[in-house]
Structure 1
Amino acid sequence: MGYYVRVEPNVKVYVEDVNPQGAKTILFLHGWPLSHEAFEYQFNVLPAKGYRCIGIDTRGFGKSDKPWGPYNLDRMADDVRGVVEALKLHHFTLAGHSYGGATAVRYMARHHGHGVSKLALFAAAAPSLTRRPGYPYGQTKEAVNQLIEETYSDRPNMLRNLENQFFFRHITKPFSDWIMYLEFAATGNSTAKVAMSFRDESLFSDLGKIKVPTLILHGIHDKVCFPELAIAQHEGIKNSKLVWFKFSGHALFYEERDKFNEELMKFIEQG
């Protein structure tokens, strides 16, 4: 079922809730510039295994409201808290991809992991998507600036070019068109401002505040969030496990979906 949750007086975010009677809950946070629908190949499988799968469309994306602002990690984490409270979630697994992974990390630090029993990060944009002094592993800020400039001048072309970084293996043109359909549901404003967020914000101090068991899944061919980011997450989060995906780029939850789903379920079922 799908419904809206009010997270600010004039802002509602869309929530898709599949198998509400599932024994264990997974709350999925999508990456930029997608929507919860990107997790179709998890939502097709995991509910049949007894899991409740909840997907949030981040503000500005998918079916959620698209205010002018703000678009930053604190606001995104607060939106997640609003959903958690509205649905009265507890003892759930928080799972985030790319910028959704960054949002999950900020939620754990800012809201002290409220309700979360386990954390799953996949191709997460943490601790920083961009390079910084003493941290040479991310994208250059110039590269992100180019994405922002192209978003304002020719967003369709920017999104089409982005696919060259997103996938390691060949995808069909219909699948490529579907991905772009998901991305077009966002506004240019939200697309650009979230890019500004992952260009400028970092999570170095947040990692050490995570106190729950954490699974880190990452493709070795990731050209968006480089593999070094996963290593930094593993080093910064106590009680974390890192699993590499040898045949994936940034979209490991699709490119190696069977392995992804199995690793996620195995992690959740562990005591």
Structure 2
Amino acid sequence: MPMINVEDQVRVHVQDLGSGPAVVFISGFGLDHELWDRQVRVLTEAGYRTVCITQRGHSHSDHPLHGYDIDRLSTDVLSVLATLRVGSAVIVGHSFGGQVAFHTAALAPHIVSRLVLVSSNAVRASRSADFPFGAPPDDVVAQMVKAEETDRVAARYQLIQTNFAAEPDPRVVDWLMSTWLRMPTWSAIACYNTLLRTDLLDEIPDVEQPVLQINGTADRVRSTKSAHWLKSQLSDSTMVELDCGHFPMLEAPEAFDKVLSGFLKA
């Protein structure tokens, strides 16, 4: 069942493999199920069911003009799980996918048993009076939208390169770019706005499930300070810092798998 209807005339791509306890993966901005290739292999061999959801506007999912607010994106996730009859799952969200995963956990604690935030502070990606991390959203959104509209290939290439702690393998950059460029400009601009303007601070008390935060010490996109702040606000959170940038599943795969597997077994 590669495509699942989440709304009238909107389908999202889903990879559903293995059997056992369900682990749901939501990729970050512009990416899809291929980001989790190694983790799917490791976890299915260990007796887990892995469900990778490609968000609307991304890769092989449909690219509607509207529907990119955080409520709609989380509703998409819950629609997929209902269709697949997943009654309980651990949700793993990377970067922008971490925001969606966090909101989903707050909305449906009866379904989301545990939460894993990868390179994501989840509640905000920009500065506010109550969240003193990052830059104010207006200027950042304006810069990213201008870059996207002027030369989206160059803009996205630059973003990918700066996400790594060290100079990445050009073949990895080419692979990620091939996925990113399946995301049209209108979806990217809408997701930039959702990413940088969403505020989930009020939902922190609603997330009482065990939370694992995996962050890179050299992540230039999400500060570890904001991740430590979030840990201090959550009722049950464990934070692990790996020697990498924004893509721990690619830059430190063995360490990442060990941490994730340990959390799933706990």
Give the TM-score category using the shorter length: over 0.9
Q: Deviations over 1:14-71 (max 9, x none)?
A: 101121x2x2211001100211211122123221222211101100001111100121
Residue aligning to 1:266? 262
State which of 214, 217, 220 in structure 2 corresponds to 1:220.
217
Q: Distance in 2 between matches of 1:123 and 1:139?
A: 17
Gaps of 5+ in 1: none
Separation (CA, whole Å) in 2 of partners of 1:114 and 1:139: 35
CA offsets 1:71-124 (integer angstroms, 9 cap, x no match): 111110000010110011123111101110000111122x23241211111111
CA distance in 2, matches of 1:154, 1:92: 39
Corresponding residue number in structure 2 for 1:177: 174
Instruction: Establish whether residue 243 from structure 1 lines up as the match of residue 240 from structure 2.
Output: yes
Q: Please list the CA deviations of residues 212-270 of structure 1 after superposition, one character each: whole Å capped at 9, or x if unmatched.
A: 1111111111111111221122122111111111x211111111111111111111111
Tell me how far apart the structure 2 counterparts of residues 183 and 7 of structure 1 sit (CA, whole Å): 22
For the Cα contact (< 8 Å) 2:2–2:14, is it kept in 1?
A: yes
Question: Is 1:83 equivalent to 2:65 in the alignment?
Answer: no
- What is the rounded CA distance, in whole Å, between the counterparts of 2:244 and 2:135 in structure 1? 19
In structure 2, stretches of 5+ residues that fail to align are: none
Q: Deviations over 1:185-210 (max 9, x none)?
A: 11111111100111211111112101
Whole-angstrom distance in 2 between the partners of 1:238 and 1:125: 15
| C-alpha contact 1:125 1:198 (8 A) present in aligned 2 | no
SS state at 2:127 partner = coil
Whole-Å separation in 2 of the counterparts to 1:88 and 1:27 = 13
Q: Post-superposition shift, 1:125? A: 4.3
Q: Is the Cα contact below 8 Å between 1:126 and 1:202 reproduced in 2? A: no
Does residue 15 in structure 1 map to residue 14 in structure 2? yes
Find the counterpart in structure 2 of residue 254 from structure 1: 250
Corresponding letter in the other structure for 1:191: A
Letter in 2 for 1:256: A
Percent identity between the aligned chains? Answer: 27
Q: 8 Å contact 2:121–2:230 — kept in the other structure? A: no
Query: Counterparts of 1:78-117 in structure 2 under 5 Å?
Result: 78-109=75-106, 111-117=107-113
Alignment correspondent of 1:26: 23
Q: Aligned residue for 1:135?
A: 131
Does the 8 A contact of 2:25 with 2:53 survive in 1? yes
Is 1:61 the counterpart of 2:27? The answer is no
Q: How many Å separate the matches in 2 of 1:64 and 1:164?
A: 25
Deviation at residue 180 of structure 1 after TM alignment: 0.1
**Which is further off, 68-77 or 120-129?**
120-129
Q: 2:67 is matched with which residue?
A: 70
- The 8 Å contact of residues 92 and 117 in structure 1, kept in 2 or not, is answered as yes
Q: How does 1:195-206 map to 2 (within 5 A)?
A: 195-206=192-203
Partners of 2:23 and 2:39 in 1: CA distance: 10
Separation of aligned partners in 1, 2:226 and 2:118: 11
Q: TM-score normalized by structure 1?
A: 0.94
CA contact (8 A) 1:36 1:62 kept: no
- Asked whether the 8 Å contact 1:139–1:224 carries over to 2, the reply is no
User: How does 1:156-195 map onto structure 2 within 5 Å?
Assistant: 156-195=153-192
**Count of equivalent residues:** 265
